[in-house]
Structure 1
Amino acid sequence: MRLSRSLKLPLLLASPFWLVACSQADAPAAPAEAAPAPMSAAAGPTDTPDDPVTAPSPNGSSAPSVPADADQAAPAESGPNAPADTAAAAAGDARGRIERVLGDADQYETVFKALQQGIAGDDRAAVAALMRYPLRVDTGGSKREVPDAATFQRDYERIVTAPVARAISAQSFDTVFANQQGVMIGNGQAWLNGTCLDKACSRTEVKVVALQE
């Protein structure tokens, strides 16, 4: 069949479009590119780093946070029978506490000062006279009872050791610790206590009852 000239021109113009359409229909679809991740905020000083940092507290403090185990440190012991009671003594209440708990504070102070003077002057007989026998001793890694003044003077250097002498010399009577067991010097290097001399306990005698390192 012959086409008229009027039909040939439109067909010639349309044929390239048909070829393109056919080639696009037959070609496999190209895989879609992965969509980009959502945009994050611009990097800057406010970004969270890989290693987390504790934020400052609301009050503006920039100090680092305290480790969790820091609160394990035990507070100072307190109470009427605890060494921390020396805080009250340091404020000038040592004599008052001795009067309330033990009695005659003047007698305790007299023995305390005589003990310091005897040790400072290396007067072994004077120091021995201040002990109550048998004397409890825990020095040099051994515990024992010293029966009398003669034994005390003979073993003086093993009983009044350097740590014991230093603690006694460094103590102030205004800061001694006192409880029902007596007056403590240092951290327990020496203890003073009184005994009744009559049934009514109207008279007492204060002596050193224990020495220990």
Structure 2
Amino acid sequence: MIFTAPDVDGVRDSLKTSRRVSPLRSRLVARSVIVASLSTLTLLLTALAPSMARADCDPAGRDIANRLMTYTGQLGERNPLRLVLRPSSGGKLEGRYANASSLSDTYLTGKLENKSRLHLTEFDAGGMPRATFEGDFTANDDVNRQRGAASSCEVISGQWKDLRNGRSVPFELALASIQSGKIDHLYGVAGVSDDDTLNRAATQFRKGVLDDRRDVVAQSMRYPLRVSLHGKTLMLRNPKSLLARYNEIFTDAYVRTIGAAVPRLMFARDQGVMLGEGAVWFDASGRVIALNRS
């Protein structure tokens, strides 16, 4: 719908034709007509504008109660973020988050109010509150429905606030996976004894890719290595065979995909631990066992 602005000159001309109205009153009447017209226009545009509706996420639901819900997205414009939440009875929340440059996970505690409003607090080394996540579960019909959870738990958006300086940064996260396990030992199902050892291996591999350190990347693999490429599966037998096809595998797009992934708080299953949305898979020792090019 297209709205036409009020004809101000026409209003003034019509007022001038009446000898009973003073010039001052003419200006006041004209101004009131314009303001009323613009107010009506504002109300109409506000009514037509899309809004982000809140959604209910019931932590007592059988699909998510006491399970680990992993969310991925952005903190600000360029900071990939990964958040793991464990909801429990009474709306209590326990969590951990990390970004691509994190050397450790940040522990969170909080609560869920009215099944939609999220309050999370992170603490410094001395146990003092350092920052907060305040947000809402929001409705999003476009999120993939095959993730195994109700749509009401799929998207979180809000503000992260630094309590020391008051700086606030927006965040938006989408549900990536739901799994069982312990929040401080996510990779146990994959046979990993120490999560930090695998995190370090994943971080080293990711840095090697981004820095174009091909020797580091080649030594990060467990051979024979499965590579999904051009709709086919290749088996590379040794570092030499990987280096021979390196440019074909590690394209700019694939390097960007790896760079956007957070090498901590990763999804795990019995077959291994995955970086990003399955772009790279690691075994229990931290060796790369599969590269998946989309």
TM score, norm. by length of structure 2: 0.38
Give the corresponding residue for 2:283. 193
Identity across aligned pairs (percent)?
27
Pairing 1:85–2:178 present: yes
Give the corresponding residue for 2:252. 162
Judging changes above 3 Å, is the alpha-carbon distance between structure 1 residues 207 and 174 closer, same or farther for their aligned structure 2 residues?
closer
Spell out, residue by residue over 1:126-155, the C-alpha distance to the aligned partner (whole angstroms, 9 max, x if none).
Answer: 100000111000123321101100111121
Give the corresponding residue for 1:148. 238
SS of the equivalent of 1:113 reads helix
Give the corresponding residue for 2:289. 209
Pairing 1:75–2:159 present: no
Listed as ranges, the matches of 1:1-213 within 5 Å are 75-78=145-148, 83-85=176-178, 93=183, 96-99=185-188, 101-102=190-191, 103-194=193-284, 205-213=285-293
The structure whose RCO (Cα within 8 Å, separation 6+) is larger is 1
Spell out, residue by residue over 1:67-122, the C-alpha distance to the aligned partner (whole angstroms, 9 max, x if none).
Answer: xxxx9x9735238xx95228x99xx93x5211454322122111101111101110
SS of the equivalent of 2:145 reads coil
Judging changes above 3 Å, is the alpha-carbon distance between structure 1 residues 175 and 105 closer, same or farther for their aligned structure 2 residues?
closer
Does the 8 Å CA contact 1:164/1:190 hold for their aligned counterparts? no
Which amino acid is the alignment partner of residue 242 of structure 2?
Answer: F
SS of the equivalent of 1:209 reads strand
Judging changes above 3 Å, is the alpha-carbon distance between structure 1 residues 151 and 171 closer, same or farther for their aligned structure 2 residues?
same
Which amino acid is the alignment partner of residue 255 of structure 2?
Answer: A
Judging changes above 3 Å, is the alpha-carbon distance between structure 1 residues 173 and 74 closer, same or farther for their aligned structure 2 residues?
closer
Does the 8 Å CA contact 1:136/1:210 hold for their aligned counterparts? yes
The alignment's C-alpha RMSD in Å is: 3.1
Gaps of 5+ in 1: 1-70, 195-204
Structure ranking higher in helix proportion: 1
Judging changes above 3 Å, is the alpha-carbon distance between structure 1 residues 122 and 176 closer, same or farther for their aligned structure 2 residues?
same
Give the corresponding residue for 2:132. none
Whichever of the two has the greater Rg, that structure is: 1
Q: Could you list the runs of 4 or more consecutive aligned residues of structure 1 that deviate by over 6 angstroms after TM superposition?
A: none
Gaps of 5+ in 2: 1-140, 150-174
Q: Work out the CA distance in 1 between the residues paired with 2:224 and 2:230.
A: 18
Deviation at 1:157? 1.2
Does the 8 Å CA contact 1:76/1:84 hold for their aligned counterparts? no
Give the corresponding residue for 2:166. none
TM score, norm. by length of structure 1: 0.51
Judging changes above 3 Å, is the alpha-carbon distance between structure 1 residues 74 and 104 closer, same or farther for their aligned structure 2 residues?
closer
SS of the equivalent of 1:107 reads helix
Which amino acid is the alignment partner of residue 136 of structure 1?
Answer: R
